[in-house]
Structure formats: structure tokens, C-alpha cells
Amino acid sequence: MMTNLAPPQIRATTGLELAAGIFTKCSDQLASQLSISLTSGRREAKQTPLRVGINGDVYGGMRAPIEVGTRRVDIAYVNPSAMVAMAYRGKGYFKQKMGLRILGCFPSWDRIALVVSKELAVKSLHDIARRKIPLRVSTRFSGVNNATYYTIETILSLYGISFGKIRRWGGKVQECPRPDAPQRRKGIAEHSLMAIFDEGISTVGGWLDQALENGYEIIPIEPDIIKKLERLGYSGTVLPQSRYRQLNQDVPTIDFSGWALVTHKWLPDRVAYAAIETIDEKQKLIPVDDDEPLNMRALCEGSEKCPLRVPLHPGAQKYYKEKGYL
């Protein structure tokens, strides 16, 4: 098909389509850390470079806001969106305020769940700390800059607990690569685990549903602890009885929702505008972690599934307003 694109644009577009197609077809064999760089040759020295980084130890988890905030990367995904708020404020893991802006927040409903065996007869993490219970607990990989592990450790620290202390008390910590890892499911079924501290609870029939059907219960995060977490950038919420029929009432916890598409305040407005225009044009092709199709209005206004906690980039905001999404 003939095109009006110049040869450099033809080659770049072909390369990007090729990479997307290969990854889609061979993702089980390929690495998942994505790095796309548009850089200038000597004859294009005044052209604006663009770097997109997705997934992995550098572009995923806790490192991504730093990579964007220090302009080593221009656009990245960050999950949960609470990490963006934390970096924007310079709290917790982030030692200085980051000049971040949001292009949009993709839907992904999630919560932190602190689950214990009913046999322990505990109603709070305070009980575990006071009794120094040697838990056999399952959580996520400590890995490199893992947002889930960092969040769980932060919660535990506010109760005077850590995974290190649990080990010193004689307990064991099982680290899993994903919420529904086979070793966790096996431990829940056999009741060899005493506790599970994790997120990834939206899947019907997932690890949390299995645990609630097998003699486990959710313990709440107390209001004073939630307030301390909110000062870092998290948001208080509940695990709803309407979703988990085994509960007698809603259980207070913190939110872990949202895949924020993040940039920095220095990104040219035209580039930010083009990014959202492209998402709008391709929205039927873009996969989302949700039962509903991508909603452009929710992308820019925020919702329970995709909370916005940082200002929109003005270029993105301009597009949303022009199209009536804002």
C-alpha cells in the first residue's frame, strides 16, 4: 500500500509493528522488558528524542517513576497508581519529589488483602506482633523494587513487624512470582500456610476466594494505620462484602488499583496529545485488565478501577477536552 510517509518514518513504523507482532505471537519465549528509543542522528540534532520503557526491574515496579522523573524514560506504566502519588509527593520509597504527570490511568481493580488462618484466632496484625507468632506466610517476591513486597513490608512495619522478624520468631516466608502461583494454591488447599499477604485479588476463583473457602479470613488494617499510609500516597478503601460473600461486613484495607501511564512535566504538549490520540484511535486493540472495554472518559477522569492521583499532562488534557471526554 502506498503511503505519504517519508522513508525514515516507513522504516520506524515497520519496526514498531514488527516488534509488537513478534511479542504477541512469542511472548512465552521472549523477555518482557520493553524499551523503545527514538533518537537523533547528527543531521537531526534538534529533533526531540522519545524513550518508552515498560516492565522489568528498571521500567516496572518502584523504579519506573524514578526513571521518568529523572527523564531517563519519557513514558512508562506504573502499577498501582499509588506509586505515582508517592513519587509525586517524594514520600516513602522516593526521597525527592518527582515532576510526574499522568497521560491516563488504565483500569485494574485491586486491593491489598491480609489473610490469616482462622485457627490463629487473631483479629489484627497487632495480635501477631504481640504474640510473636512464627507464621508460615506467603507473599510476593522481594525481587528488585517490587511494589507489592514494598507495600506489604511498609504495612507490617507500622505494626512493628517485618518478614525478617517473622523468620527470627521461627516462621517461614514463601515468596511467589505472582498471586495465583501453584505453590501458594497448594499451600492454601493443604492448609500448610498460616497467612497470605498479597494483592491480585480480582480474579474470580483466585487465591483469595480459595482461601476464604478453606478456613481463612481477612483481617483489617486499622484506621490510624490507614491514615499513615494515606500520607505516603496510598488510599484507604475496603474489601467489599458484596464481592466476597464469605465476609460478614466490608473489611478496611488500602487500594492497589490502576495502571497509570506516566510521563514527566517536560514532555512536549504535542507528544502528549499524540499519545492520547493514538490510544483513542487504537482503543479497540489495546488490552486492559478489566471486564469492560477501554473507556476514554475513565482514562482521564479516574474511577475506582483507575484512580488519578497526579495532575494530567496539559497536552493530554487538551485532547481529552477537545473530544468531550473531560
Helices (H), the chain: 7-26, 56-59, 63-69, 82-89, 125-131, 147-157, 163-168, 182-190, 207-212, 223-232, 269-281, 296-301, 314-322
Please report, rounded to a whole number, the percentage of residues in the chain having pLDDT higher than 70: 98
Indicate whether 249 pLDDT > 90: yes
Q: Which amino acid makes up residue 174?
A: Q
| pTM for the predicted model, two decimal places | 0.92
pLDDT in tens, 276-301: 999 999 988 888 888 888 999 999 99
The DSSP secondary-structure symbol of 35 reads E
Q: Determine, yes or no, domain membership for 46.
A: yes
Strand, coil or helix: 42: helix
Residue 21 grid coordinates: 507482532
List C-alpha distances in Å: 238 to 59, 95, 107, 250. 29, 29, 18, 6
Asked if 165 and 234 sit in the same domain, the reply is: yes
Asked if 213 and 297 sit in the same domain, the reply is: no
Give the residue among 88, 123, 139, 57 at the shortest CA–CA distance from 263.
88
Q: Strands of 195-198's sheet, edge to edge?
A: 172-176, 136-140, 195-198, 113-117, 216-218
Q: Determine, yes or no, domain membership for 26.
A: no
Q: Determine, yes or no, domain membership for 166.
A: yes
- Give the residue from 254, 289, 308 where a domain finishes: 254
List C-alpha distances in Å: 145 to 20, 150, 160, 180, 275. 26, 7, 22, 20, 27
Which residue's C-alpha cell is 540534532? 45
Per-residue pLDDT, 1: 58
- Give the residue from 254, 274, 293 where a domain finishes: 254
Asked if 246 and 145 sit in the same domain, the reply is: yes
- Give the residue from 206, 228, 254 where a domain finishes: 254
Per-residue pLDDT, 56: 74
CATH number for position 279: 3.40.190.10
Which residue's C-alpha cell is 467489599? 240
254-268: b (≥16 Cβ within 10 Å) or e: bbbbbbbbbbbeebe
Residue 3 grid coordinates: 503511503
Task: Say how far apart CA 312 and CA 301 lie, in whole Å.
Answer: 9
Count of the separate structural domains present in the chain: 2
Indicate whether 49 pLDDT > 90: no
Residue-range definition of the domain harbouring residue 261? 31-108+257-322
List C-alpha distances in Å: 245 to 5, 110, 195, 204, 213. 56, 17, 20, 12, 10
Give the residue among 113, 138, 110 at the shortest CA–CA distance from 202.
110
25 HSE (CA, 13 A, CB side): 6
Note whether 246 and 212 are within 8 A (CB): yes
- pLDDT class of 2 with cuts at 50, 70, 90: low
In angstroms, the first-to-last Cα distance of the chain is 37
Q: Which helix (H) or strand (E) holds 105?
A: strand 100-106
Asked if 232 and 298 sit in the same domain, the reply is: no
- pLDDT class of 317 with cuts at 50, 70, 90: very high
Per-residue pLDDT, 11: 82
Q: What is the rounded (10 degree) CA torsion for 98, 267, 35, 80?
A: 40
